[in-house]
Amino acid sequence: MDFRTAPLDDTSAQALAATGLRYALVDAADADALDGWTRADFRGFHGRRPSPEQLAGARENFAPRRNTGVYDDAGATTDPVGTVNTWPAPLTVPGGARVDSWAISSVTVAPTHRRRGIATALLGGELRTAHALGLPLAILTVSESVIYGRWGFGPATWATAWSVDTKRVRWSGGDTPGRLSFTEPEDYEETGAQVLDRVMADRPGEIGLEPYLAKRLVGPLKGDPEADKARLVRYDSADGEPEGFVSYSLKGGDEDFTRHTVEVRYLAAATPEALRALWRFLLELDLVAEVKVWTRGVDEPLQALVNDVRGARVTDLEDHLWVRILNVPAALQARTYERDGSLVLEVADELGFAAGRYRLTVQDGRATVSATDDPADVTLPVTALGSAYLGHDVVRGLALAGRIQGYADALDRLFRTAVPPRLSTWF
């Protein structure tokens, strides 16, 4: 079944109808309808009114997704009062499999209609639709961390922001072979998308990017007021293989021309050589005093690349990708494990999808999972299972907090991975 035209969830349609609201799929071929949906989406995140260029871009970018609106037909506007869009995104899991996961984005409710259950209808509807389509997980990135736990999502990757004092540090990393060149986003779009696909496939927590999401990382989208400040540098290996790029802008420098700030829009490195060469390029830029970067992994090796570890500071550490397990056996069997073992998990899930008792047996790194009546070794809510799923070091903390009961150490040993998961973009 085409996920774009799969029927709307009846439970949510009825709940909304009971409050006088209409739940509807937006026909991507209906430009007026999609423009109204986009206006509501921008407003929902306190953005500017979208320009004609941005509306045209959104028509192209959102057409491949399933766009849903909630309409108040008695109100003074025909634009929706609630929005969401979804698509199956390949999520890289430990071991390298890419699992189609229900990516949820653009969740907004008009401030005129807040706190009367519209988001509840939208989220419940999306989870039931994903489950009906057979997807084992739902994923999202969040504006506020208090919203999604109630629907069974748990934070599963963490992201760091950094500030490097480039007048203080000197390069201490290894060789940086290969070639750096300036290029333009329109010339590099296709190659950039290929590099991004390697990056995303290589790391648990990353997702395969739609053309729109990839384009946004290579350079600013049409209509971006900052577009003419963005620079793009590509890295090609000594053999001429495209392996990375960095997109960045320069800010400041008004008071002291020798002290500009570099803001990294996105750094993609498919190999360690590309990572080193691109960081070295940024850290050695003349007329620059600071390099700032966001949404890197918790293991970004910046302090190892410079001679003065205090010159490279983590300025933020935040939850990033949230995971909602919908099908426990399918999700747990899709990833691999770094140790063998067997555990009975009792999963609590108020919405029902994942609730049950399961035996997880890992042999040679591969899991088999089946329902069981054996006594539980570990009892945990579905939010905690989502948090632990990609291998991040969360189990001990959740156990100490009393949110996981039983043999949490055994669960930790099974689920945690040597390389922490990372999601390096927003969606």
Ligand X SMILES: CC(C)(COP(=O)(O)OP(=O)(O)OC[C@H]1O[C@@H](n2cnc3c(N)ncnc32)[C@H](O)[C@@H]1OP(=O)(O)O)[C@@H](O)C(=O)NCCC(=O)NCCS
Residues forming the site for ligand X (CB under 6 A): 44-45, 107-109, 114-120, 142-144, 146-147, 150
Would you call 23 a catalytic residue per the annotation?
no
Instruction: Pick the closer one to ligand X by CB: 67 or 166.
Output: 67
Q: Shortest approach of ligand X to residue 91 CB, angstroms?
A: 17
Beta strands in 297-365 (DSSP E): 312-319, 321-325, 341-348, 356-363
Would you call 257 a catalytic residue per the annotation?
no
Instruction: Pick the closer one to ligand X by CB: 12 or 92.
Output: 12
DSSP assignment of 242-303 equals EEEEEEEEEEE-SS-TT-EEEEEEEEEESSHHHHHHHHHHHHT-TTEEEEEEEEE-TT-THH
Q: Shortest approach of ligand X to residue 84 CB, angstroms?
A: 9
Question: How far apart (Å, rounded) are the C-alpha atoms in residues 177 and 298?
Answer: 26
Instruction: Pick the closer one to ligand X by CB: 119 or 275.
Output: 119
Q: Catalytic pick from 148, 235, 389, 415?
A: 148
Shortest-Cβ-distance residue relative to ligand X: 119
CA 413-415-417 angle, 5° bins: 90
Question: How far apart (Å, rounded) are the C-alpha atoms in residues 386 and 416?
Answer: 13
**Pair 424, 160: CB distance under 8 Å:** no
Q: Catalytic pick from 153, 245, 266, 427?
A: 427
Instruction: Pick the closer one to ligand X by CB: 141 or 271.
Output: 141
Kind of pairing between the strands at 341-348 and 378-381? parallel
Question: How far apart (Å, rounded) are the C-alpha atoms in residues 83 and 326?
Answer: 22
Q: Shortest approach of ligand X to residue 156 CB, angstroms?
A: 15
Instruction: Pick the closer one to ligand X by CB: 30 or 45.
Output: 45
Q: Shortest approach of ligand X to residue 75 CB, angstroms?
A: 15
For the annotated catalytic residues, the residue numbers are: 148, 427
